[in-house]
Every structure is written in structure tokens, then in C-alpha cells.
Amino acid sequence: MAKKTKRIGILTAGGDCPGLNAVIRAVAKTAMHDHGYEAIGFQDGYYGLTVDKWVRLGRDDVSGILTRGGTILGSSNSHDPFRWACEKGGKIVYRDFSGKALAAYRRHGLDALVIVGGDGTMTVAGKLMNLGMNIVGVPKTIDNDLEGTDRTFGFDTAVTTATEAIDKLHDTASSHHRAMIVEVMGRYAGWLALTSGVAGGGDVILIPEIPYRIESVCECLKGRSKRGKRFSIVVVAEGAKALGGEMVVAKHDAKVPDPVRLGGIGNHLAAEIEKRTRLSTRVTVLGHLQRGGTPTAFDRALCTRFGCKAMHLVAEGAYGQIAALRGDEVISVPIKEIAGRVRTVPLDHGLLAAARSVGTCLGD
């Protein structure tokens, strides 16, 4: 009797980011080249796993995708199989469709499922493990806010995109003698704003970890103006908030696992600055530009290392692990140790100290 060919599944869930295709390529090629596995991909994240929407991932399917942004499998951040939003009588109700996801996993005779995603995705992955699925994870998010790893892929590319935007805004800000506010993503962590702000020479950088005093921000901008600096750059994370205040919420979406959608802090801040300083102030919200584009060389290399590591973990039977970067070494950590936890910027982080040393205002 012929020996059964081993098979893995791959899915990309949550918000998209540069490097997803590079990970898919690395996992699938390592599966075929090093271990003799077949690979299939579930489309649109957990939606594809739950409704059994899939494609084969042969060598030709994953060839030539290393430099492409986005994901050939598609993604979704609104389909949690354990809390599936359905409309009933004009209202949103939630149903547990995890049994359908498990059935698809078994129907394809999978030896393991490689899940590529961030905090929310890994929380669901932990629940799927409890159903009996063999899971290995790869950490993805432009926010760099996943515990257990020094760096998530996609972050370096997003920082580069944000920094290039800040560089360009310097030109128009200096031409019109304005305060220019750049609102970047990051949700509840300030890694993206801090890193791009320092790299782009931001005069003010506001992050969720340090609630800002509007008086401090305005004093900095007025002080620059008095010293003959006729423009200023303010980099603000979407999750930043005033001391004693709340984060600015753009909307609530009951259909997604995390219904809070942040956004609007840039416009809120601009109104306060203009009212208090009379400085002409403009806002640029980078939004989903930060999620797109070809991944940087650093991210391509990291994605390849992460994908290879994930597949090696599968072959070793080391399930329930996620590939992680510690220093320059790719290791593995248990998914259960990182699921549901957010990695924020430590207040003693060296980049914060460096920002203060060069005179950057952090709003405190």
C-alpha cells in the first residue's frame, strides 16, 4: 500500500501587510523541497478554513511572489470561526462555526496548519489547537506588537513607507511654514510612530504608551517658531491619547472580533493646536498605504526565515509553536504564551531615550 503523502495547509488572517507572499512561498517551498509535503492554501483567512475555500500550492503557484505585496491567498479580519457574525432579523448574532473549520481540516487530511497572523489571529489559533488541530504560527503585523518576538514581519516595510511620507511632508511643511501632523497606524502600541518618527526627524512624536499634554505639544511648537523654525512635523500614533483622555475612535464594527476602529486623532490634535497656537496646521493620515507595497529586503529575508522555520517545526512535530526573532536568531515560542497579549513600547526603551536626547517632544 502506497504511503500517504503528508499535507499541510496555510492561511493568512487579519490585516494584510507586506511579506505575506514571501512567507507563503517559504513555507510551501520548504514543505516540498526539504520534507516532501504537499501544500494547500485556505483563501481569505479563517473564512476559507470555515467554508472550505482552498487552492493547491504547487511550485509554480508560489514562484515569483517573493517581491509582491498583499497575499495571493487573500485575508480577512472579520471571520472568527468561534464567533461568526450572522444577520438575523436585522440584528447581528454570533454562532460557533468552529466545527466546520475542524471538519475542513480533517477532510483534507492535513498533518498541520500554518497560520500567519497577529495577536487576534493567534488567539483564534490557540482555540483551534484545543479542538485537536496541529498548528504552527508565523508572526505578522505592521504594528510590531506581538509578544515573544523582537520583530514581526511587515513592520520594517511599514516604517520605511511612513518615513518616506514624513520626508516628503518636510518639503511642503517648510514651503508653507506649517505644522504638519502625520497620523500612522499601530493600534495600542507606538512602535510604528516612534520608529518612523525618529527616522523621519519628527519634532513631536506621540504614542499610546505616553499620554500627552496638549500644553506640552503646543509649547514645543511655539518654541520652535520663536527660534525661527518656521515649520514642525508631528508624528502621532492612531492610539495616542491626551493625559486623562480617551483614544479617538473612528467607528465601531460589530461584525469583526475587535469592534473598535481607531482613527481621527490627527484631526483632533490639529484643531487643538490651531486653537491654542494659531499656527497653520495640516493633517496627513497614511492609513492603508502602510500595509501595501513590495516588502523591504529586511522583511523578505525575515519572511523567508520565518516560513522555513515554521515548516521545520511542522516536520519535527513541534506543534503549538510560533516562529520568533530573538536578536538575530529565529527560535520558537509557544502560541499560548503570546496569544491575547500586546507588546507595547517599554518606557525605558533606548529609542525613546534617543528621541529625548535629540530634543524630540514626546508630549509629556
3-state secondary structure of 54: strand
Instruction: Say if 206 falls within a structural domain.
Output: yes
Instruction: Say if 214 falls within a structural domain.
Output: yes
Residue 17 and residue 120 in one domain: yes
Q: Which residues contact 343 (CB under 8 A, 6 or more apart)?
A: 144, 145, 146, 147, 148, 189
Residue 314 and residue 224 in one domain: no
State pTM to two decimals: 0.93
Residue 302 and residue 257 in one domain: no
Residue 237 and residue 121 in one domain: no
Instruction: Say if 354 falls within a structural domain.
Output: no
Instruction: Say if 30 falls within a structural domain.
Output: yes
Element (H or E) spanning 41, and its range? strand 38-42
Could you give the CA distance from residue 83 to residue 149 in angstroms, rounded to a whole number? 28
Residue 20 and residue 34 in one domain: yes
Instruction: Say if 345 falls within a structural domain.
Output: no
Q: Which three cell numbers stand for residue 290?
A: 502602510
What is the full per-residue pLDDT of the chain (364 aa) written as tens digits?
455 789 999 999 988 899 999 999 999 999 999 999 999 999 999 999 999 999 999 999 999 999 999 999 999 888 899 999 888 888 888 999 999 999 999 999 999 999 999 988 999 999 999 999 999 999 999 999 999 999 999 999 999 999 999 999 988 888 877 899 999 999 999 999 999 999 999 999 999 999 999 999 999 999 998 898 888 999 999 999 999 999 999 887 766 666 788 889 999 999 999 999 999 999 999 999 999 999 999 999 999 999 999 999 999 999 999 999 999 999 999 998 888 789 999 999 999 999 999 999 999 9
Q: Which residues are catalytic?
A: 143
Number of domains in the chain: 2
Instruction: Say if 353 falls within a structural domain.
Output: no
Residue 16 and residue 144 in one domain: yes
Cell 510551501 belongs to residue: 28
Domain membership of residue 18 as a residue range: 7-153+295-338
Residue 276 and residue 170 in one domain: yes
Instruction: Say if 186 falls within a structural domain.
Output: yes
Instruction: Say if 2 falls within a structural domain.
Output: no
